[in-house]
Structure 1
């Protein structure tokens, strides 16, 4: 076949994970391994998978910590994995161990959402899947045993990293605009959030990684209005100040291409009409989602302690 044919012409590459051709065909160069749910022998955390929407295959993984002499119900953590909206899953070797450890450390029940990925399911599908997952939690609060018997639905936290942090933010905004009866979101945890903007600033200027991230956004969301789309640039969202919680923790990494956007997010949130508290943490000398690849390093442990403290602080 002629390399210049429409079939072979490449529209976008996200190495080493994904190649999108101009005719719309997508090729995944690395498939994500599936890690089954289990009872972790080290942490004592139990996990199981649930189907949220049978007709679309939308699913999630539930986590239940091992807690001795528990006198009250536990907070609920709703987690959204990263991966540029197009790679990874809630069931991968990168995310299953991380959420398992977070559940053990924070003593929370968790649901890790396995939203459908682009480009097969272009954005805004991941946002719709995530919102459906939140509504499922509400609908199952008196049905699903792990939720009904163990969760305090007045203590709910949304969290995610990278693209997942972007999703978590957008879910918090949507919750602030469309109340989820029976679910009170106490806090939002954004780890190395994937945000952008048309006008580059600070370390973004001339940064090739930032350019790739911008091209990735357009590839996973073909109908986007661009890098000032409110989904990826919260500063352009008229509902930004309606964030549906009173506490936000933003964690950035010094060498991350999204570092300055995360800091900008904090500054804008503090200046907005939102009536809440913003907390901030920076990991010096580290890169994007370093804690997933090196979870035993000191700064990854510091990050874990910060997130756990945020969740366990009553305000």
Structure 2
């Protein structure tokens, strides 16, 4: 007879497997690489603790020999809230490339993962990281790279998939809990992990597929009210139109199952009375987070350039 320790509670290939005894086996997003100087991009990076309480860190990126103040990007990694890390080869490579392309400072946030740390842990950690970044607004924060080079009057939040979900909610929180001396100019949401109980537009109606997405959401947030929970389906959030920034760029991929949610987000944001500028970029023939899996591709290069241009065409 199979022991309780080996009985599977949830099997979610190719990401992870959860056992009934609480053990989690992750198949993706477990590799890490150290920070340092990347000779290909001439971008430096280092890891800095932002929370003593949770022992979580950020990885900071800055161009080698950066001069003066540069726009600041706060980045939240994806992975369904359950896998990946700010220190993975995937995100380390992407942030090096983006920092070099855009000539910016970036802070890549690591947060506690579900299901060991169910939501709202990832949101709580991310907000702690934002507040830690904001502590540098007077130029006397704990990290000299940010004191010297980060322009806290020209800040962007970004992320992919679950990280894009986090970026949206952090922007909403910026309105609720104003931080003096920090100006959030825009957010960049790549293939955002939003969902809903009922299909929209030409979104899949396949019950098995929809149930799989619902299962992942419930794995990360056991206390959720379901797939219309405002954390995963923010459109009905009464604070939706109070997004605390001036500009939004949403990137979607033609073959991504989450594509319609990104399109819908843009449409509803325009109708919400928010009053800012929203742009939509679609990558034809591509799937979810293609730019991370194939960073050397033509569409990935176009997306990288679009994100860099979006940041550099913002607040002067």
| TM-score normalised to structure 1 length | 0.95
User: Residue deviations 1:182-205, cap 9 Å, x none?
Assistant: 211000000000000011222221
Aligned residue number for residue 103 of structure 1:
99
Structure 2 stretches lacking a partner, 5+ long: none
Q: Distance in 2 between matches of 1:31 and 1:152?
A: 31
Aligned CA RMSD, in angstroms, stands at 1.5
Q: Distance in 1 between matches of 2:81 and 2:225?
A: 17
Q: Does 1:248 align with 2:248?
A: yes
Q: Structure 1 residues 30, 273: CA separation in 2 closer, same or farther (over 3 Å shift)?
A: closer
Q: Distance in 1 between matches of 2:153 and 2:160?
A: 23
Q: Structure 1 residues 209, 93: CA separation in 2 closer, same or farther (over 3 Å shift)?
A: farther
Q: Structure 1 residues 290, 31: CA separation in 2 closer, same or farther (over 3 Å shift)?
A: closer
- Tell me the CA shift for residue 179 of structure 1: 0.8
1:188-207 to 2 correspondences below 5 Å: 188-201=187-200, 202-206=202-206
User: Residue deviations 1:106-132, cap 9 Å, x none?
Assistant: 110010000111111111100000000
Structure 1 stretches lacking a partner, 5+ long: none
Aligned residue number for residue 66 of structure 1:
64
Q: Does 1:266 align with 2:262?
A: no
Q: Distance in 1 between matches of 2:302 and 2:265?
A: 22
Q: Distance in 1 between matches of 2:57 and 2:222?
A: 25
Q: Distance in 1 between matches of 2:176 and 2:92?
A: 31
User: Residue deviations 1:255-307, cap 9 Å, x none?
Assistant: 00100000000000000021101011000000000001111111001101110
- Tell me the CA shift for residue 31 of structure 1: 6.1
Aligned length: 311
Deviates more, 1:208-217 or 1:162-171: 208-217
**Of residues 117, 120, 126 in structure 2, which corresponds to 1:121?**
117
| TM-score normalised to structure 2 length | 0.94
Q: Distance in 2 between matches of 1:61 and 1:278?
A: 28
Aligned residue number for residue 290 of structure 2:
290
- Tell me the CA shift for residue 18 of structure 1: 1.3
Give yes or no for contact 1:229–1:236 (8 Å, CA) kept in 2: no
Q: Structure 1 residues 282, 59: CA separation in 2 closer, same or farther (over 3 Å shift)?
A: same
- Tell me the CA shift for residue 42 of structure 1: 1.3
Deviates more, 1:115-124 or 1:9-18: 9-18
User: Residue deviations 1:207-226, cap 9 Å, x none?
Assistant: 64443122100111000111
Deviates more, 1:50-59 or 1:217-226: 50-59
- Tell me the CA shift for residue 57 of structure 1: 1.2
Q: Does 1:135 align with 2:131?
A: yes
**Of residues 26, 29, 42 in structure 2, which corresponds to 1:28?**
26
User: Residue deviations 1:85-144, cap 9 Å, x none?
Assistant: 111100001100001110010110010000111111111100000000000011234221
1:102-251 to 2 correspondences below 5 Å: 102-141=98-137, 142-143=140-141, 144-201=143-200, 202-206=202-206, 208-251=208-251
